[in-house]
Structure 1
Amino acid sequence: MTVRELRRMWKPHKERLAALHPEHPTNVRFHRACSWLQRSEETPIGSDLDITLMSQWIAMNALYGQWDSLRQEPVGDLKSWKDFLDRMLKLDQQEIIINTLNEQKSLVMSILEDPFLSRYFWKEPCPQQANRSRKTLHEARTWYLMGNWALILDRVVERIYFLRCQIVHGAATYDSQLNRSAIQLCTELFDPLIRSFLLIWAQRGVEEDWGGMCYPPQSLEETRSNSTA
């Protein structure tokens, strides 16, 4: 499903929520996510994979990001996206995520098998730690047989997140040949996953309270008005 189709599906909800509040956070989250997913769509397939992965992650971040009103800062990434994935699975009555994980099983397995996407490998890079990824691969086959979708989704997104962190924190060279295989796998899987999340959001998320939104839209006029109130 394209971003255009997702937006078309969301439009009736958008109009209803906008009548309640012109910058309704559920609308803003969806709009922000679609804008970044569209950016990844516009990148030619197979080119600029670093930017594609960043755009994909930002799209999901727009949906899961939470604001800590006491500390006045975003809630930590790890807890936020893990909670979000659990919530997506609970809302997914049509098993969209499950179908995606089944359709993309070979990609899931390849990502779980790659030792360079494992945080355990980088604690002490060695053949023994590389074998740990192969153990995870064997475990994943059991997870599929048992239908443990929450664990499969968590583990594979955890590895995509690990690669995202490497890039964001300057621990990888732009367009490096060393991580081309890993980033190719991650972008190919992440794309249908994010579209699944947005589809579930459009189908089941409109009545949900998605929590405090990070950095809601503000105009200079609103800022001045609030400061003088």
Structure 2
Amino acid sequence: MTTKTGLTHAELKTKQRAIRDSFPETMGLRVHRAISWIGRAEACGADDDAKFIFLWIAFNAAYADEGEFQTIQPGERAAFADFFGKLIDLDEQRRIYGAIWQRFSGPVRLLMENRYVFNPFWQHHNGIAGFEDWEERFKVSSRAFAQAIQSGDTKRVLSFVFDRLYVLRNQLVHGGSTWNSGINRTQVRDGAAILGFLMPVFTDLMMDNPEKDWGKPFYPVVP
């Protein structure tokens, strides 16, 4: 899994080893864990299901804080947005922008048009009251996404994308999908590709800015 930026697991690990002595303990632990899972994802080859899951673990290792594990999904979405905003502000080379607006513009649009990764669709399908209007919600979400695209709001677009990827994550992790299924392959393949590009960039930006507050991991190393 070589990204356009040339950031492989080996290159991330080499950089981390060279500068990790300057990392604050909590940030160093985040990066160490994220890089380890990026490496595991890289070893998956063509297994997009496993690749996606391992990359999502890398994402959690990088961003999740003490409170994230005790909040409902809206709180988690806010944590996503805060993390993305910080990274985008630090991304002087605009690598995240390039990924969303150029390299993955097609897959991102397909993801946003896919009702099978839209949470209200599944809420309604499973008979949960209050989601009878899922189609209208889907249209509203699509319009809001289009506005974010038109205004060049990378942070908001990322939040939309990860909202959909979160549904895909739930499907895989909670057994709502068959491994290597012939059904709905597109979102798994595209989701793994998007995460496979972004996670090394996210981790690299964190290493370049160790002085920033990246939060305290909920599961530190306890002697």
Is residue 209 from structure 1 mapped to residue 213 from structure 2 by the alignment? yes
Q: Structure 1: which 4+ aligned runs deviate by more than 4 Å?
A: 128-139
Is residue 172 from structure 1 mapped to residue 171 from structure 2 by the alignment? no
Once the two structures are superposed, what CA deviation does each residue of 1:47-71 show, in whole Å capped at 9, x if it has no partner? 2x22111100000100111124xxx
Paired residue type of 1:112: M
Once the two structures are superposed, what CA deviation does each residue of 1:82-122 show, in whole Å capped at 9, x if it has no partner? 32222222222332211111221011111111110111222
Q: Distance in 1 between matches of 2:147 and 2:79?
A: 27
SS at match of 2:220: coil
Q: Give the root-mean-square deviation of aligned CA atoms.
A: 2.6
Aligned residue pairs total 207
The residue that corresponds to 1:10 in the other structure is 16
Q: Distance in 1 between matches of 2:207 and 2:94?
A: 14
The residue that corresponds to 1:30 in the other structure is 31
1:218 to 180, 198, 222: 222
Query: Which 5+ residue runs of structure 2 have no aligned equivalent?
Result: 1-6, 126-132
Per mean C-alpha deviation after superposition, the further-off stretch among 183-192 and 166-175 is 166-175
SS at match of 2:36: helix
Alignment of 1:29-178 (within 5 A): 29-45=30-46, 47=47, 49-68=48-67, 74-76=69-71, 78=76, 79-103=78-102, 104-125=104-125, 129=134, 133=138, 136-137=141-142, 139-178=144-183
Query: If the length of structure 1 is used for normalisation, what is the TM-score?
Result: 0.79
Is the contact between residue 107 and residue 190 of structure 2 (CA under 8 Å) also seen in structure 1?
A: yes
Query: Which 5+ residue runs of structure 1 have no aligned equivalent?
Result: 220-229
Q: Mark the structure with the bigger radius of gyration.
A: 1
Query: If the length of structure 2 is used for normalisation, what is the TM-score?
Result: 0.81
Q: Distance in 2 between matches of 1:151 and 1:102?
A: 13
Paired residue type of 1:120: P
Is the contact between residue 6 and residue 202 of structure 1 (CA under 8 Å) also seen in structure 2?
A: no
Once the two structures are superposed, what CA deviation does each residue of 1:122-151 show, in whole Å capped at 9, x if it has no partner? 2335xx856865665565444223111111
Paired residue type of 1:167: L
Once the two structures are superposed, what CA deviation does each residue of 1:146-167 show, in whole Å capped at 9, x if it has no partner? 1111111000011011110122
Q: Distance in 2 between matches of 1:65 and 1:87?
A: 14
Q: Distance in 1 between matches of 2:145 and 2:180?
A: 30
SS at match of 2:184: helix
Q: Distance in 2 between matches of 1:65 and 1:194?
A: 14
